[in-house]
Structure 1
Amino acid sequence: MPCISSFYGLLIYMYGDDHNPPHFHVNYGGNWSVVDFDGNVMEGELPASKQKLVSAWAEIHKDELIANWELAKNKETLVKILPLQ
């Protein structure tokens, strides 16, 4: 599972053979969460401050997340996404 972005201790991953609905995985301090492209946590949990950062990042980069999801479905190389700054 490639890391597509990282910022403020958050590591963002996307699987190549994952299930719907479209989502990404977040590792923060060894704890994993599954987050949809609107920034909502679907599984796991994040501290509120980190959840806000992930949601803001997802909103800014939604088109890139969708493009990576399509690449992943086609088993193509994913593109790195700029971190939240």
Structure 2
Amino acid sequence: MPKIHDIKNYNIYIYYQDHQPPHVHIRYKKMAIASMTINDVVVLEGTIPITVDKEIRSWIISNREDLLKMWEKAVKGDPIL
């Protein structure tokens, strides 16, 4: 489960061999707080504080193509970084 990006004190991860749909996990101080889809940037589970929600969504949208490539590798168990 490599960390792929930091936004303020929030860390974004893609987990290996994870379930569909393609998504990222958001953690704060080692605690899982939410997961968000890569394609349509919808919260699957949990909540993201309003103070970072827009920034996280913008980052996912700006990096969607690379995130989807990482997701495809991770689902197969291949290294993504």
CA deviation after TM superposition for structure 1 residue 49, in Å: 2.2
Instruction: Give the residue type in structure 1 aligned to 2:13.
Output: Y
Structure 2 residue ranges without an equivalent (≥5): none
| Contact 2:7/2:56 (8 A) holds in 1 | no
Per the alignment, residue 25 of structure 2 pairs with 25
Amino acid at match of 1:32: I
Aligned pairs, number = 79
Partner of 2:36: 35
Equivalent of 1:62 in 45, 48, 64? 64
**What secondary structure sits across from 1:64 in the alignment?**
helix
Q: Which residue of 2 aligns with 1:10?
A: 10
Identity of aligned residues (%): 30
Runs of 4+ in structure 1 off by over 2 angstroms are 28-31
Judge conservation of contact 2:9–2:28 (CA < 8 Å) in 1.
yes
Distance 1:60 1:17 in 2: 24
Aligned residues: CA RMSD: 1.3
Counterparts of 1:40-51 in structure 2 under 5 Å? 40-51=42-53
Matches of 2:51 and 2:44 in 1, distance apart?
17
Q: Displacement, 1:71?
A: 0.7
* Contact 2:26–2:35 (Cα < 8 Å) also in 1: yes
TM-score, with length taken from structure 2:
0.88
Q: Secondary structure at the match of 1:54?
A: helix
Q: Which amino acid aligns with 1:58?
A: I
* Distance in 1 between residues matched to 2:54 and 2:9, nearest whole Å: 14
Offset of residue 62 of structure 1: 0.1
